[in-house]
Chains A and B, each alone.
Chain A
Amino acid sequence: MSETRTLRSLDDLRRLREEAHREIRVREATGTKIIVGMGTCGIAAGAREVMRAVMDELAARNIEAHVTTVGCIGMCAQEPLVDIVQAGASRITYGKVKPEMVPRIIAEHLVQGQPVEEWVVGQTTSF
């Protein structure tokens, strides 16, 4: 057991660091925040499942982003609502998000930098 954990080079240490860093990322600053509406309306519309899908997708793609929850923002008819806030960009709100929509939002918005226009229901320039 202990044999397998032994680090035999600086590269071994760096690999372990990268892996271990994923576990503490939540405690460090990052430029991207994904906000899921978790009011009663959001939860009833399936926000929890959407949030799980977001977290799974971020983990699978190893993307550095924080996932946070907020209460109802008043647009209950569009729930589940997911907002993406990136440093230096406007806050984009997606409405009626389903878990199966999440991979495309993350691929196009976070990875390629192109919001999925057809699903956007709101945009604000200041947080």
Chain B
Amino acid sequence: MTEPMYRAHVAVCAGTWCKALDEADLAEAMLAEISRRGLAEEVRVVRTGCRGFCSVGPVAVIYPEGIFYCRVGMPDIAEIVEETLVKGRIVHRLLYAEPETQRRLPRYEEIPFYSKQVRIALRNCGVINPDLIEEYIARGGYEALGKALTTMTPEQVIDAVKQSGLRGRGGAGFPTGLKWEFTRKAPGDIKYLICNADEGDPGAFMDRSILEGDPHSVLEGMAIAAYAIGAREGYIYCRAEYPLAVQRLKAAIAQAKEYGLLGERILGTDFSFDLRVKEGAGAFVCGEETALIASIEGRRGEPRPRPPFPAVSGLWGKPTNINNVETWANVPPILSQGPEWFASIGTERSKGTKVFALSG
């Protein structure tokens, strides 16, 4: 391989908020300055998804040290390259200052906002380039799908999700494994999966962070469920007001198909599953599952009374399993690290972690 080995990576946030603050293109400018200083073969610029600390954005992290720079602007770029990348020194004025003490904290692991977090659904957000499936795979991505397809029966997958105690992250908190079981047991040959990515509550951006920062975690979670439930087709219903999320999802699906991780005979097994993105029609009510299904079918997005629940009669009248983005993103780690591990985190009645969005 002739691929150069880079000694440093500059991770520049390319989430919606940091991009909005970023008057030009920081990553592009960083790359230009790095090339100008003759470091292009040593230092790589990586565009990542959101790291969650948008209030101090645009943020950039220099690896391997993990130096966290806040509110980075165009005038700071030459100094970051000169001081940190050429001379190995920290630009103190760009570091995060602890609000009470004004003490500067150089590494992001030292910042309480990060050090107190356990990240499961957000495990890759801000760390990988969401447009490169190889970076997701490098972090163990699609291993859980491979494990499910080659070593587990569909029933065992459902049992694992039940044991983990995962509950729906869309708000209602219904036990995910049980929902999968209902859909699996519902009569019918054709079954569907839907990802509810119509995050419409004002100020909420939990799902957007995952979709923009780690779209493959959602794809992999859905593929695992498709195997468990017996579905061959799925839809991601994503609000059209999330153009970056739609774009990254579509790119992720195309890359997964190229590697045979979606489509026919996944990883050489008999299992096939295909996914497509349906953009929302801009109505808040379409986040409700029956209205969402109507919208995919091309009808007016109006809720209907339940029962029947989608698990029995959903999309095109077929058994359909709907989960939200964050729920799907939790599935691969449950299989790769085990349901006991997941169940050891969280509260008595609600296992795992929950992503929160604070705004205003």
A interface, CB within 8 angstroms of B: 2, 5-10, 12-14, 16-17, 20-24, 26-27, 30, 33, 35, 38-39, 51-52, 55-56, 58-59, 66-71
Contact = CB atoms under 8 A, between A and B. Distances in A.
A35 B138 CA distance: 26
Contact of B138 (A23, A38, A58): A23
Interface stretch (B13-21, B22-30, B81-89, B277-285): B81-89
Contact of A5 (B64, B258, B268): B258
Interface of B: 3-9, 11, 42, 44, 46, 63-65, 85-89, 127-128, 134-135, 137-140, 142-143, 146-147, 149-150, 258-261, 267-268
A52 B139 CA distance: 27
B135 A68 contact: no
B142 A13 contact: yes
Contacts of B149: 10
A8 B312 CA distance: 34
A6 B260 contact: yes
B7 A26 contact: yes
Given A20-B135, A68-B7, 6 more contacts: A8-B260, A8-B268, A13-B261, A26-B6, A51-B7, A58-B5
A124 B50 CA distance: 39
Contacts of A5: 258-260
Contacts of A66: 7, 64
17 contacts: A5-B258, A6-B259, A7-B261, A8-B267, A9-B267, A10-B147, A10-B150, A13-B146, A20-B134, A24-B9, A38-B88, A55-B42, A66-B64, A67-B64, A68-B64, A68-B88, A71-B88
A55 B3 CA distance: 12
From A16, A23, A66, name the one whose CB has the most chain B CB atoms within 10 angstroms: A23
A96 B280 CA distance: 64
A111 to B, nearest CB: 17
B5 A38 contact: no
Nearest to A2: B258
Contact of A39 (B9, B44, B87, B142): B87
A23 B135 contact: yes
Nearest to B141: A17
Closest 3 CB pairs of A and B: A69-B88, A20-B138, A66-B64
B137 A38 contact: no
Nearest to B133: A20
Given A12-B267, A68-B65, A70-B88, A17 B137 contact: yes
A58 B260 CA distance: 32
Nearest to B38: A48
A52 to B, nearest CB: 8
B47 to A, nearest CB: 13
A9 B149 CA distance: 10
B138 A24 contact: yes
B146 A10 contact: yes
B27 to A, nearest CB: 16
A10 B128 CA distance: 22
Contact of B8 (A7, A16, A22, A26): A26
Nearest to B263: A6
A38 B86 contact: yes
Which of A14, A24, A51, A59 has the most CB atoms of chain B within a 10 A radius of its CB? A24
A71 B134 contact: no
B267 A71 contact: no
A7 B11 contact: no
Contacts of A70: 87-89
A62 to B, nearest CB: 10
Contacts of B138: 17, 20-21, 23-24
A35 B268 CA distance: 45
Contacts of B147: 10
A27 B64 contact: yes
A38 B39 CA distance: 13
B319 to A, nearest CB: 29
Contacts of A30: 64
B79 to A, nearest CB: 14
A13 B267 CA distance: 8
Of A14, A20, A33, most B-chain CB atoms within 10 Å:
A20
Contact of A71 (B4, B42, B89): B89
A33 B7 CA distance: 11
